[in-house]
Amino acid sequence: MSKLTHLNPSGEAHMVDVSAKVQTVRTAIALAEVQLTDTVMAVLAEDTLPKGDLFATVRIAAIQGAKRCADLIPLCHPLPLHKVSVDIDLDTDLKRLCIAVLCKTAGVTGVEMEALTGASVGALTAYDMCKGIDKGIVIREVRLLEKTGGKSGDWQAAGVES
């Protein structure tokens, strides 16, 4: 059995000491998919969403979510994010909103959790912005697409192209 890294010798949760790790440039891209309803799609097509600009609000929320990751996820290290970018794609054929969040830092630990948190908060914000139209919206998936840097090296989800 492998040693659990986030437990001390007494079995208590603790934050891992990363001070001896080598600083490298690290990136991560996460994706959240939000399945919309016909009613929501119609409102978006007419640009009449009562709460305002869906894309601008989701983008700001995703950035804020990435920046606040360490406040939300226990045992995550607070990181200086050097870049957070958000790409939002509305697939009208599949009635799906795709929120991709890229996070970048130069540090001693990865930014996967920041990217995943940003994508999650973006998806939750999309739900909040549209729930008054139809509560049947479904957040289908939140997943890591790729990460670079660090001791474990680069990783990419199967079927994902850079």
Q: What is the SS3 string spanning 91-156?
A: ECCCCEEEEEEEEEEEECCCCHHHHHHHHHHHHHHHHHHHCCCCCCCEEEEEEEEEEECCCCCCEE
Instruction: Name the active-site residue from 38, 91, 128, 154.
Output: 128
- Cα–chain center distance at 83: 13
89 is catalytic: no
Q: How far is CA 42 from CA 130, 134, 135, in A?
A: 12, 11, 15
Q: Could you tell me which residues come within 8 angstroms of residue 9 by beta carbon, excluding any fewer than 6 positions away?
A: none
Token code pair at residue 30: 């996460």
Catalytic residue positions?
128
